[in-house]
Amino acid sequence: MKLVTAIIKPFKMDDVRSALSEIGVQGVTVTEVKGFGRQRGHTELYRGAEYVVDFLPKLKLEVACAADQTEAIVEAIMDSAGTGKIGDGKIFVSDLEQVVRIRTGETGEEAI
């Protein structure tokens, strides 16, 4: 089992959700986060004063999946979240040792 974590631009969420639904992903956890990478933030003007926004708003998606679904999920996120511009985000894939469904007690891939 794998845990796919993606950091994406907020306005791409609907596209990513549609792409994941098309390949059969049943569950996604989404968290609003802030951060920066090479993009390094930007300068904004508010009431005549200029200030630097260091941390940009992003969305963090987490998808627990069977190992054989990982590549399809990564490709779906890349295709739907990419704009070709700096700040598109990152995808991290890590091993998932155990999953337990609280309601039924199911474990492993059955719990996903």
pLDDT in tens, 4-15: 999 999 999 999
The reported pLDDT for the residue numbered 24 is: 94
* Band of pLDDT at residue 59, cut at 50, 70 and 90: very high
Share of the chain above pLDDT 70, in %: 92
pLDDT at 49 over 90: no
Structure-derived torsion over alpha carbons of residues 39, 63, 12, 90, reported in degrees to the nearest 10: 20
Specify whether the CB–CB gap between 4 and 73 falls below 8 A: yes
| Mean of the per-residue pLDDT values of the chain | 91
Mean pLDDT of 77-87: 93
pLDDT at 44 over 70: no
* Band of pLDDT at residue 50, cut at 50, 70 and 90: confident
* Band of pLDDT at residue 21, cut at 50, 70 and 90: very high
**pTM score, whole prediction:** 0.86
H-helix segments, the chain? 13-22, 70-81
The CATH architecture annotation of domain 2-111 reads: 2-Layer Sandwich (3.30)
Domain range annotation of the chain? 2-111
Residues 6+ apart with CB under 8 A from 100: 106, 107, 111
